[in-house]
Chain A
Amino acid sequence: MTVYGRGYRPFTFEPTSPRARLWAVAELELRTLFRTRLGLMAFLICLGPSIANLGILLIFSGVWRVGASPERLRSWPRTNPEAIDFYLQPIIGDVFAFVIFLVLTSLVSCRAIAKDRESNALELYWTRGVGPRGYFFAKWLGSVLLLGSAFVVAPAVTWLLGVLMAPDWGTLERTIEFVPSVLLALTVFTAVISYLAVAFSAVAATANTATVFWFFLLLGTAAATRVLSLVFVDEWWFKALSPWDAAKRVAEWICGYVPRRDYNPAIAVLSLVVVVGVLTALALRRLRRAEAVG
């Protein structure tokens, strides 16, 4: 330790890999939400669907006796722990899920890079062995891990608890076929949506601008598909114009779920590829060193 005085010499670095450097950035992002009470509360609210599912599981397994019988719960897919809807719909299916995703991505993913640009913190990274591409990847990774803990890990834990609390292994036998693919679908869905949000964040000048545009993108395209549904009565391909709906269709396709308003998942994939491609190109252009610090 020779910060002062004579004997000054370059510090001997441990042979850490680029992965370790990027993990430090990802970890910083992962913890962002938990530094404020508001963030913590938002995260707990986002666990709402999984907590509700846990309650249903407790009733279903007979641990919590409130009158509803397992047979009654089985009669509706949304409350039947042995149906795919039970795990999939609370995360990607209904309006509440949409709002939760919108809130969490607005608080975390779509501010991730914009807030660093706003405070010119990018300079700190660029002079520390973290390049623009690695930085972007690390921010996305941190964001995926955070969102994934609410939208993938929580449903997985809920399912595991349900299986363990059940009186026999019947629940496991009836769900093991589809739960892994549902978890994979939720992972892909979370990864795609958070990628789009982080890319938005990289393109925007400020965190607030990114948040506003992200809201407009998700809500605007969702509204547009509603309007188009009045024009195209029996066609549903236009839903792929909304990144949310496109990612949802891809997730449904991965786990073999057939929605009421079905359309070819290839259209959804194509739509996402175009949006991801355009946003990635714009994001990397905006993160170029001269661009970012000029």
Chain B
Amino acid sequence: MSPSALEFAGVSKWYGQVAAITEVSLRIGPGVTGLVGQNGAGKSTLMKLACGLLRPSLGQVRVNGGSPDRVATRRQIGFCPDLDRFYERLSGRRFVTWMLRASGLGRSAAATRAGEVLERLGLADAMDRQIRGYSKGMRQRVKLALTLAHEPAVVLLDEPLTGLDPVARHEVGELVRGLGHGGAAVLVSSHVLHELQAFADLFVLMHQGRIVAEGALAELRAQLAERPRRLALRSDQPRRLARRLCELDQVSAVEIDARGVVIETTGGAQLSQRLTALGAESGLVRELLPLDDSLEAVFGYLVES
């Protein structure tokens, strides 16, 4: 097992009578882990427990073996909250400098560091302007600068893509991927599942305060082996293709749409061979696309089940 930078051992958290997290046990090592769940699933609570903002009602949270209650442990954590929390009249540079000083950097080291990080995050021209004039994307970058400036070993990003334009989303995705490749343990929650899928290696799926599945996407899909897979077959002759597909035992349902045929199947490699042969023989199949191997589909199936 890879070393776990962040560990939850039987963690439950109640707000009064309401259970936000129930018996969560999880180990997160270096790399990017995506945290997926609907609103109220417990994602933010999990993040806050990880960075010591909340204490578990039951169980233990460990960051590199230490309690997040300790200052020394919190220095190893970078937390990017989901809302904008700024001093609007400070410039981006001053704000990051001040927060670095509160983290334990000296005055000049903090100023230098803040400038470097903001420059890396593309705010070189705007870092000396007041934050109140920043766009949503620029604010997001300031938050990321606050999170990453001290190069924490554990990075917790709560909805880091919110409000970003497509270019900025891509850049942030690359940045997060780079952190993971560099050895940091990154836990990212996001509603933009297809983007999360692009830069996360592992996924933790939460529903109603519990972890319903964890692992790489292929592993998660494999856990749903009994569930029929949906495949789209692009064809110029969908009716003829549908007739041929109905003859196959492994195909349990066939639908015709504008661009071809969608089938549901429990067949594995054998069916793939038959479909490939079908395409080669008659030219009926131009393209084959899996429809439910995406994170969204897997999450949807797991929540349903």
Contacts and interface: CB of A to CB of B under 8 A. Distances in A.
Q: Is the interface of A mostly helix, strand, loop or mixed?
A: loop
Interface in B184-205: 184
A13 B54 CA distance: 25
B85 A8 contact: no
Contact of B105 (A8, A14, A36): A14
B183 A20 contact: no
Given A3-B179, A120-B83, A121-B85, 14 more contacts: A6-B182, A6-B183, A8-B178, A9-B151, A11-B150, A13-B103, A21-B101, A21-B103, A35-B89, A121-B87, A123-B85, A125-B102, A127-B51, A128-B102
A293 B54 contact: yes
A7 interface: yes
A28 B87 CA distance: 10
A4 interface: yes
B290 interface: no
B171 to A, nearest CB: 11
A11 B151 contact: yes
B54 A24 contact: no
Nearest to A119: B85
Contacts of A2: 151, 182
B259 interface: no
Interface in B73-126: 74-77, 79, 81, 83-87, 89-90, 98-99, 101-106, 109, 113, 116-117, 120-121
A14 B106 contact: yes
Contacts of B104: 13-14, 16, 20-21, 128-129
Contacts of B102: 21, 24-25, 125, 128-130
A127 B54 contact: no
Contacts of B66: none
A129 B120 contact: no
A36 B85 contact: no
Contact of B175 (A4, A10, A24, A28): A4
A5 interface: yes
Contacts of B105: 13-14, 16
A214 B76 CA distance: 40
A166 to B, nearest CB: 41
A127 B71 CA distance: 8
Contacts of B15: 294
Most central of B48, B76, B79, B103 by chain A CB within 10 Å: B103
Contact of A127 (B55, B79, B90, B101): B79
A13 B89 contact: no
Contacts of A129: 71, 74-75, 102-104
Given A3-B151, A13-B75, A36-B89, A8 B182 contact: yes
B184 A8 contact: yes
B153 interface: yes
Q: Please classify how large the interface on chain A is, using the bins under 10, 10 to 19, 20 to 34, 35 or more.
A: 35 or more
A54 B98 CA distance: 37
Contacts of A35: 89-90
Interface residues of B, number: 49
A3 B148 contact: yes
Interface of B: 15, 48, 51-55, 71, 74-77, 79, 81, 83-87, 89-90, 98-99, 101-106, 109, 113, 116-117, 120-121, 146, 148-153, 175, 178-179, 181-184
Interface in A228-285: none
Contacts of A25: 102
A66 interface: no
A3 B182 CA distance: 9
Contacts of A289: 52-55
Contacts of B120: 1, 3-4
23 contacts: A1-B116, A1-B117, A1-B120, A3-B117, A4-B120, A10-B75, A10-B152, A11-B152, A13-B103, A14-B104, A14-B109, A20-B101, A25-B102, A28-B98, A36-B89, A120-B85, A126-B52, A126-B53, A129-B103, A129-B104, A289-B53, A289-B55, A290-B54
Nearest to B148: A3
Contacts of B150: 10-11, 13
A120 B71 contact: no
A124 interface: yes
A14 B109 CA distance: 9
A9 B183 contact: yes
Contact of A5 (B48, B101, B151, B182): B182
Nearest to B154: A10
B163 to A, nearest CB: 16
Contacts of B98: 24, 28
Contacts of A124: 81, 85, 99, 146
Nearest to B143: A124
Interface in A1-55: 1-11, 13-14, 16, 18, 20-21, 24-25, 28, 35-36
